[in-house]
Amino acid sequence: MEIAQILIVEDDRSFSDLLQFQLSTLGFQIGDSLSVQSIQEAKEASEDFSPDLILLDLNILDSHGIKTYDSINSIYSDCSVIVLSGMDDQDIASEVVSKGAQDYLLKSEVGPELLKKTIRYGILRKTLSLKLKQSEKKYRDVFNNSPIPMFKLEGEELKIVMANQASLLLYEIQEEEIIGESFYSFNYKDSFRFTNIEKNTFFRKEFSQKKKSGEEIVVDLHLNKLEQKKLSFIAHIDDKTEEVLFEKNKFDIISQAEESEKKKIARELHDGIGQNMVLLNLLFQNMNVPEKEKENHSEVAKIIQNCIKEIKEIAYNLLPPELERGFLNAVNRFANRINATGRLEFFIEIEKDVVEEDISHVDKFNLYRIVQEVINNAIKHSRAAHIYFRLRKQKNQIKIEIEDDGVGFEEGKIKEGLGIQNVKHRMKIAKINGEFSSIVDQGTKITMFFDLDK
């Protein structure tokens, strides 16, 4: 039998002696044992005596009931406590066990075998409890000292119940300000919520959020479910702000280079090849040809004129001159050109209170390119009879909808073409939020929105 130090807290001398006798007959090698009659004596004994287990009577000289357990527990917080209960205080004894006591014995039933078993299990449970506390402490130390921002979250609303120092530094906030708040409360322009989170074990999502100071950040959330009764998660936060800024700057540089090259090509087409083609057309028209060659001459003239028209069209798409007089003007002129082809009808609906100044802060060049790309895709692929362009104010935002009544497609079952990829690329560059939706045989719609200039 392992050596065990046992403290008996009992003011009935005869019962205390009985307990000590029974212990001596059990085969325990009691290296040290002590019997006291009061809380005061137990406190004094704590200076020289460290028991593994305490046999505690709740009603002693200077204390009664639950208060006795609380007092002993405050003195020997790491010790296993077994309550000795009289028939009249069994309910109280049960309550004490719920507070942390390892077990309780009715005094009338105490015998050597029961005492032996109870002591063994009491010490074992306390040992396991201490190991669990040590494990929890290690977990907390790892959690708190991790350089990675981390939260412990609970429930579908992801309420923050723990936050490590790195997360507090990231959000520039104090712990008392963040505990109890939802992780979603930091979101900036993002109403996204995880769904069915009780059914999966891992989630990942990028969020645009704000620190307490108001500074905008982009974070990548890694959410791992914990094996606990209450729905709980450990959240790792990866600050992607600098990476996103780097990518944006890279896209801006690429975009500027692309547009610069397009402008150069447009000027070359218009001022170089285009002018030469016009001159060639004039010279060709003035040529005298034999009667038998006039038919061929006419066909070549048509080809030259078509080439001139296509060159102008390409130059226009690369560098639309209307945009210099504003986005709204450019869209109206673009609609007139589409309607002039007779291939479909292009309707424009712009609210009366929307003015050019409302979008003065937006990257109008990329916004116009998006409109061009969407309309051209509709003309090429949708087989639509009508296209609708709607622009209106909605709260503190501008909302743009482009919708056609074409064949549509089944979302998720077609591969994104270059056109959609270009649109999404330009939306990212211009910081324009948007979404696509389509229904087979009913058409396709793209919705874009961005803040009003403030």
pLDDT tens-digit series, residues 264-277: 787 777 677 878 88
Q: How confident is the model at residue 30 (pLDDT cuts 50, 70, 90)?
A: low
**Which residue, among 135, 138, 165, has the nearest Cα to 151 in the 3D structure?**
165
pLDDT tens string 306-324: 888 888 777 766 767 777 7
Burial of 350 (0-12, 13-18, 19+ CB in 10 A): middle
Q: Which two tokens stand for residue 380?
A: 């090429």
Q: Which two tokens stand for residue 454?
A: 């403030």
For residues 53 and 122, is the Cβ–Cβ distance under 8 A?
Answer: yes
Q: How much of the chain exceeds pLDDT 70, in percent?
A: 90
Q: Which long-range contacts (CB under 8 A, 24 or more apart) does 66-75 make?
A: 66/92, 66/95, 66/96, 66/99, 68/9, 68/39, 69/96, 69/99, 69/101, 70/99, 71/39, 71/42, 72/9, 72/39, 72/42, 73/99, 73/100, 75/39, 75/42, 75/43, 75/46
Residue 386, C-beta contacts closer than 8 angstroms, at least 6 positions apart: 344, 345, 346, 347, 404, 405
* H/E stretch holding 311: helix 294-318
- CA–CA separation, 216 vs 225, rounded Å? 27
The CATH number, out of the four listed (3.40.50.300, 3.30.565.10, 3.40.920.10, 3.40.640.10), of the domain defined by the range 321-454: 3.30.565.10
The CATH number, out of the four listed (3.30.450.20, 3.30.830.10, 3.90.25.10, 2.60.40.1730), of the domain defined by the range 147-239: 3.30.450.20
pLDDT confidence of residue 203: 87
* H/E stretch holding 22: helix 13-25
DSSP letter at 7 equals E
In 292-373, the DSSP E strands lie at 345-350
pLDDT confidence of residue 418: 60
DSSP letter at 291 equals G
Q: Which residues pair with 345 in a beta bridge?
A: 386
Q: What is the mean pLDDT of the chain?
A: 83
pLDDT confidence of residue 104: 81
pLDDT confidence of residue 1: 45
Does 375 have pLDDT greater than 90? Answer: no
Does 2 have pLDDT greater than 60? Answer: no
- CA–CA separation, 208 vs 216, rounded Å? 7
Q: Which residue has the tokens 């990257």?
A: 363
Instruction: List the chain domain ranges.
Output: 5-142, 147-239, 241-319, 321-454
For residues 244 and 251, is the Cβ–Cβ distance under 8 A?
Answer: no
pLDDT tens string 61-87: 999 888 998 999 899 887 888 888 776
- CA–CA separation, 130 vs 114, rounded Å? 24
- CA–CA separation, 369 vs 263, rounded Å? 13
Amino acid occupying residue 406: G
Q: Which two tokens stand for residue 348?
A: 């424009």
**Which residue, among 195, 154, 186, 191, has the nearest Cα to 167 in the 3D structure?**
186
Region 435-445: mean pLDDT is 88
Residue 326, C-beta contacts closer than 8 angstroms, at least 6 positions apart: 356, 364
- CA–CA separation, 82 vs 119, rounded Å? 8
pLDDT confidence of residue 431: 81
Does 149 have pLDDT greater than 50? Answer: yes
Render the burial of 49-75: b for 16+ CB within 10 Å, e for the rest.
eebbbbbbbbbbeebeeeebbebbbee
Q: Which two tokens stand for residue 447?
A: 């919705």
Choose the weakest-confidence range: 22-31, 77-86, 336-345. 22-31
CB 380: neighbour CB atoms within 10 A?
Answer: 10
- CA–CA separation, 1 vs 87, rounded Å? 31
DSSP letter at 230 equals S
* H/E stretch holding 115: helix 112-145
Q: Which two tokens stand for residue 30?
A: 């009691």
Does 349 have pLDDT greater than 90? Answer: yes
Residue 44, C-beta contacts closer than 8 angstroms, at least 6 positions apart: none
pLDDT confidence of residue 237: 93
Choose the weakest-confidence range: 190-194, 345-349, 417-421, 439-443. 417-421
Query: How far apart, in Å, do the first and last CA atoms of the chain sit?
Result: 80
pLDDT tens string 240-296: 988 878 877 776 676 677 767 777 787 777 677 878 888 888 888 888 888 888 888
For residues 63 and 38, is the Cβ–Cβ distance under 8 A?
Answer: yes
Provide φ and ψ at 349, rounded to 5°.
-125, 105
For residues 347 and 388, is the Cβ–Cβ distance under 8 A?
Answer: yes
Does 302 have pLDDT greater than 70? Answer: yes
- CA–CA separation, 311 vs 269, rounded Å? 6
Q: What is the CATH number of domain 5-142?
A: 3.40.50.2300
- CA–CA separation, 7 vs 166, rounded Å? 45
Provide φ and ψ at 431, rounded to 5°.
60, 45
